Amino acid sequence: MPKKRITVTQELLKGIIKENPVFVMLLGMCPSLAVTTMAYNGLGLGVATTFVLICSSAAISALSNVIPSTVRLPSYIAVIAGFTTLTELLLKGFVPPLYESLGIFLPLIATNCIIFVRAELFASKNGVTRSVADAVGVGLGFTLALFLMGSIREIFGAGMWMAGTPIAVDFNISAPMTLFILPAGGLFVLGVIIAVVNKITDKKPPQEIGCANCPRAATCPTFNKNLPINEEQLVINIAPQSAD
């Protein structure tokens, strides 16, 4: 357990900036590109994802001794999908406009790689308190990233900020750059933000993306050329052996 020397507070803070899930770890790209056409939507999905992340991290870390390691990933899928459904019902009941505007990306929280990565790499190896602290930090980092992207795209693309809320600001821009709220603008804004984050942190930019960060990357023959593709190996792919 290499993380033991870190205090609970540091566990919470590291997810927000140093290991920001979107800008640094490059996880959860699909929702962060799709729903950030408006700051309010980004905030909403961020909070919903954080809720699922905290609940499933707590549940998985509490159950980690009970779940056999061979059926780990299917069990995680069931736990996460359960909490996603709960969130869907809560939002549908209490915030119907947000439920409508998030659309398909609300049920897709169940396939958000951030939650899987935290469950596999952190919650399954740490206690409940620590896992919840980690989940709160990563969730806040994700929410902040979504809110920032949403704000940039909404201000440039629609000339508004937080439209649809009591604190809405209208900048009265006569010709906003609509490209920013179109799909192409999402990819562009994310690319520029990651470049700026690289510049600020003076870090070597990540070369790998997506699958390389997958919790299964270590056991996946596609990304680990040293692994022989044999029968045993491919059965393990769905439920990898516990990492050392």
Residue 174: CB minimum distance to another protein, A: 23
Dump the DSSP string for 100-122.
Answer: HHHGGGTGGGGG-HHHHHHIIII
Taking alpha carbons only, the member of 16, 79, 53 closest to residue 131 is: 53
Q: Is 183 in the site for another protein (CB under 8 A)?
A: yes
Q: Is 177 in the site for another protein (CB under 8 A)?
A: no
Q: Is 231 in the site for another protein (CB under 8 A)?
A: yes
Measured over the CA atoms of residue 99, residue 101, residue 107 and residue 112, the dihedral's sign is: negative
Binding segment for another protein among 129-137, 147-155, 166-174, 209-217 (CB under 8 A)?
209-217
How far is Cα 128 from Cα 132, in angstroms, rounded to an integer?
6
Which of positions 20-39 make contact with another protein (CB under 8 A)?
Answer: 26, 29-31, 33-34
Binding segment for another protein among 2-10, 12-20, 51-59, 190-198 (CB under 8 A)?
190-198
Residue 129: CB minimum distance to another protein, A: 27
Residue 234: CB minimum distance to another protein, A: 6
- Judged by the rule CB under 8 A, the positions of this chain that interact with another protein are 26, 29-31, 33-34, 73-74, 77-78, 81-82, 84-85, 88-89, 103-104, 107-108, 110-113, 116, 179, 182-188, 190-192, 194-196, 198-199, 205-212, 214, 216, 220-222, 229, 231, 234, 237-238
